[in-house]
Chain A
Amino acid sequence: MRISLFIPCFVDQMSPRTGVAVVEVLERLGHEVLYPEGQTCCGQPAFNSGFCDQARCVAEHFLDTFADAEHVVVPSGSCAAMVKVFYPELFQGTKRAAEAKALGERTWEFSQFLVEKLGVGDVGASFAGKVTFHDGCHGLRELGVHAAPRTLLRHVRGLELVEMGEARTCCGFGGTFAVKFPEISTAMAQVKCNSIIDCGAHTVVSNDPSCLMQIRGYFDKHGNTLPCLHLAEVLART
């Protein structure tokens, strides 16, 4: 299958290894991975701040970039939700409404793509240790991603999956929210991180790189070196 990747702007810059891992996993499964090089951002920061014209401008660029893509895979529930759920609203009543909707239907969050589209549970990965999974809220509630990442993790050799008490609780990232309301955002990170520690996991895994930035940032500030990995990074390990 020919799969086009969308690597969100901050993954491109801050944690490219997540994108690399996605490439590895998909190629290992025998797929052809494409990366349209003109891609930048999905426009979510402007959209979430209420600046829809500016967001639409960026989203149009996204539509252009992925116009020919058969399947777009995104290693972030939040950016995938932007395309799948919010583009139709953003383009409502415009010339490109149908195009936006169609692209949304061809766009997938990484784990959901593997499990639901490709029907893969076991990607042949090994990872020793006790792992807990953090659901990014956009993936969880906008896209209904819950079972897929867990299915994939359960098939990883050597990996023990444990659930934390606050699994469904937001980590407090929320984009600009994290800097506009740092006190609230940090209090939420504290609840999340304590729950991760309490469940006894040695590694926290998520399908959302932005949540990982928040969780890792909080742990790091508090001198905790608990590894925070993207799901793809675990699945890439053989």
Chain B
Amino acid sequence: MSAITDEFHRAAGSVADDDDQRAFMRKALGGYEHTRAGTEARFTSWQAARDAAAALKWDALENLHALIQQFVDKLEKRGVKVCWAEDAVQARSYILEVVRAHQARSIIKSKCMTSEEIHLNELLEHEGFNVIESDLGEYIVQLRKEAPYHFVFPSMHLRRGQIDDLFVEKHGYVSNEDPEALTMEARRVLRRKYLEADIGFTGANFGIAETGMISITENEGNARLTTALPKVHIALMGIEKIIPTLDDLALLLPMLATAGTGQQLTCYNSQYSGPRSGDEPDGPEEFHLVLLDNHRTRLLADPEQRDALRCIRCGACLNVCPIFKNIGGHSYGTTYQGPIGAVITPHLRGLQDWKHLSHASSLCGACTETCPVRIDLHHHLLRNRRNAAKAAPTMFERVVYGAFAGVMRRPWLYRTLTKGSRFLNWLGKPVAGTVLDPVRAWRRTRTLPDPAKQSFKDYWKQHRKAGDAVRASAPTVPTVPPAPPAAGAQS
């Protein structure tokens, strides 16, 4: 097992063992599901909206090349400097260059998961720049030197008391757990940072090809301040965020809000099209857009799984995922947690290193059922498993499934072995639960029934004979089936 897989087992196991943490998450996400159901019901047809959104994003991917070109042309005409970054290295070095060129001291950021993907904060901090996250949740995890727990709700794992403690420790805040007081405290600190910042950094939820704009969705107004006050705006956007027209937002913005938080619309949705033009009183003097590939085109080239690029990062699949709810976000060790993370991380960062996430699923399909753009999430986990097994099957599994197929296609062998299994089971009694027990992992927390004394196959033989006997004595339709041996008995 690789170190990454080991760490996953350790971290996941420790949250799975933490009843309080799990109950806390269940409660929070239970509230979300309730609110969301109400908002969904306000759509004429949420299912039809999902179809439309999926088709829209699908079309955009099909025409990605042309749409990006159109998008970039418009932006460049308005003076935006566009960087096409093939990977994280190129994106990082471009951004670093801009930051250096402006001799910036301080950079204020609004929420941008893509920047987590390229580990931008680590880079900038390492280079001696001061980076501040302005989204409240992000700000809190940044202060705690933690990764976001959930890519929409970065600090959902924290209780009010913990945030209070954090502010007391880091700001010298006078302890007060009232949510409004805590928010005002964050605001007091952050407002100053906006004024001090030389560069405002944002992500983008959508890139509109028709008009050459990026659209940013948020609830706190922090992205607006991030883009309005500093002299330079840098936006980082994955290439899959492109959509054809401005009108498409009429569908996608309410869907993103509904699926993401259960809101009808998020509080702020702003579109940005370039630096301040001559007659405008505010806005940045310089605007840079970094378009990031970072293996997205690899996913685009996969005809089975490219629908994963339709993702609008609403986080709904995490919110309904029983795995996420029981292991929490940090266990994944990825930028994108939950089902979508399990699907795309192997594509973005290597299949063999990240395949365990595709196995760490009961394939219940709650994610697929909820995804607003109908990504075939849980089936993609199966496809990742298949691709991983094909590329590098473990010896153990090869033997196990080879034997499995060998037995299951030979009914006589199946019969012989299952007869033997009752004997083996009897023989194995003394080792049950010890290291020699092949189903120890199961038995530690659950009991396993013994194989039944009489298999169904044996029952059927008797039943058929009895049925023949009934038919022989009374050639009419038998009305009373023979009494089965153990029907309805409880274990």
Contacts and interface: CB of A to CB of B under 8 A. Distances in A.
Interface in B347-383: 359-366, 368-369, 382
Nearest to B464: A35
10 contacts: A12-B457, A13-B451, A24-B481, A54-B402, A180-B360, A216-B449, A217-B449, A220-B446, A220-B447, A220-B491
Contacts of B17: 183, 187
A62 to B, nearest CB: 9
B409 A40 contact: yes
B442 A217 contact: yes
B446 A142 contact: no
Given A52-B386, A191-B322, A14 B447 contact: no
Contacts of A51: 389, 393, 397-398, 401
B23 to A, nearest CB: 9
A54 B404 contact: yes
Contacts of B74: none
Interface string A42-59: 010111111111110110
A39 B363 CA distance: 25
B292 to A, nearest CB: 30
Contacts of A140: 365
A49 B404 CA distance: 12
Interface in B432-489: 439, 441-442, 444-449, 451-452, 454-460, 463-464, 477, 481, 484-489
B295 interface: no
Given A16-B452, A41-B404, A236-B488, 14 more contacts: A13-B421, A15-B452, A17-B488, A35-B464, A37-B411, A40-B409, A43-B408, A50-B386, A52-B389, A60-B409, A137-B366, A174-B361, A187-B22, A187-B327
Interface in A70-110: none
Interface residues of A, number: 79
B448 A170 contact: no
Contact of B456 (A11, A49, A138): A11
B193 interface: no
B448 to A, nearest CB: 6
B460 A58 contact: no
For the complex, would chain A's binding face be called helix, strand, loop or mixed by DSSP majority? helix
A17 B452 contact: yes
B156 interface: no
A186 to B, nearest CB: 4
A116 B455 CA distance: 30
Interface string A220-238: 1100000111000100110
Given A37-B457, A191-B26, A236-B487, A218 B446 contact: yes
A54 B409 CA distance: 10
> Which of B325, B362, B397, B486 has the largest count of A CB atoms less than 10 A from its CB?
B362
> Which of B22, B26, B457 has the largest count of A CB atoms less than 10 A from its CB?
B457
> What are the 9 A-B residue pairs with the smallest beta carbon separation, nearest first?
A174-B362, A217-B446, A50-B389, A50-B385, A170-B364, A141-B365, A137-B364, A16-B456, A54-B405
Interface in A194-238: 213-214, 216-218, 220-221, 227-229, 233, 236-237
A229 B216 CA distance: 51
Interface string A5-37: 001010111111101110110011010000101
